Amino acid sequence: MTIWNPWHGCKKYSSGCINCYVYRRDSEFGKDSSIVSKTTQFDLPLKKKRDGEYRITENDNPIYTCMTSDFFIDEADEWRSEIWSIIRQRPELQFKIITKRVLRIEQCLPNDWGKGYENVTLISTCENQEEADKRLPVFIKLPAVRKEIILEPLLSKVDISAYLATGEISYVTCGGESGENVRPCNFDWVLDLREQCIKSNINFYFKQTGTTFIKDKKIYHIDRKFQMTQADKAGINFTTNSLPEIKDILNRLSKSEFRSRFKLKNDDVHYINEKGLDTIERHTYDFIRNRLAPEIILNDGKQTPMKGHPTFIAQHACACCCRSCLNKWYGIEKNKPLSEKEISYIADVLMQWIRLQYEK
């Protein structure tokens, strides 16, 4: 990832800008953030090293553009055509342009934009329902190869399901507000957005908790350096049409204080020795089909005992004990039957965990 700021400075535009990090950082140096000016990075993608190679290469993708301003701010209108030219000259670089000024995008596109440049992703921010309903109806109609939404800072519960249902959005990111005097972010709002993304099969990323974070009606004050790691520990990111790599999900689970408590005990090992791993695997498939696979499970959350079989222990260790855990950790939608692919995948996860424990 690379940040390219061809100009610096911005004018506060909506409620999401109240505690702008650019203003906060500039104030430390007595700099006026409302003054928009070109930077020494203006032509950074075209700069070369002494050997003639570009300083920025494909290995530096994606290129986040105008992170200390807004690409579509009117003060930069005279410079933007040159930036479009630079973007055209580097088709191998993937430029991500994040903006609040969605209503200005169409008038600021280059003449040869057509259906969009292949190497540009347009990203609309919307911090609350009011801004979402103002920007997204316009945003989804814009021509672009890729369009994403960022809800950061997330200031309220936001329903974007109608916009996601259009199929125009490929990715949704959300996060809380950082800094001082911040407004809180509620985990319930985050989970609601995730559910909307899962229903429309759209990628979802919980970026950071923010400084003031509400979960289960408790208020937490989280230091800046822990806000992203705490969000990651929630384990709620969702990737479309794919299940996590088994080694990756087992690694994540091993970092969970609760999941990592589960271990095979001597009785479980003796049972495996007696029955053999092939039999354990058959049992595993049976448990999944009967207890996890149905569309409706009346006792969901209570269908997996805490002991009595190696597979039961593995299910708790691997968050495959109920549909709610499958939804949280694997993005598998609740209230629909598991597919054969999902059943096989869950069995493979459980058996991999059992084998790792058994061979210790």
Q: What does the pLDDT read at residue 305?
A: 94
Q: How far apart are CA 143 and CA 120, in angstroms?
A: 11
Distances in whole angstroms, Cα of residue 272 to Cα of each of 4, 267, 311:
57, 9, 10
pLDDT of residue 238: 85
Q: Rounded distance, CA 37 to CA 20, Å?
A: 18
pLDDT at residue 248, rounded to an integer? 82
pLDDT in tens, 77-88: 999 999 999 999
Q: What are the tens digits of pLDDT across the range 230-255?
A: 998 898 988 775 677 888 889 888 88
Each residue of 60-69: b (16+ CB within 10 Å) or e? eeebbbbebb
Q: What is the pLDDT of residues 292-347, one digit of tens each?
A: 999 888 888 899 999 999 999 999 999 999 998 898 788 787 878 988 889 999 99
Going from N- to C-terminal start, the domains of the chain cover 2-233, 246-358
The model's confidence at residue 123, banded by pLDDT at 50, 70 and 90, is: very high
What pLDDT is recorded for position 334?
Answer: 80
Burial of 241 (0-12, 13-18, 19+ CB in 10 A): exposed
Return the closest-CA partner of residue 227 out of 191, 176, 184.
176
Give dist(CA 52, CA 99) in Å, integer. 33
pLDDT at 241: 59
**Among candidate residues 220, 222, 254, the one with its CA nearest the CA of residue 235:** 254
Question: Taking residues 266-285, what's their average pLDDT?
Answer: 95
Strand order of the sheet with strand 212-215? 185-186, 212-215, 218-221
What is this structure's pTM? 0.68
- Residue 341 has a CB neighbour count (10 Å cut-off) of 9
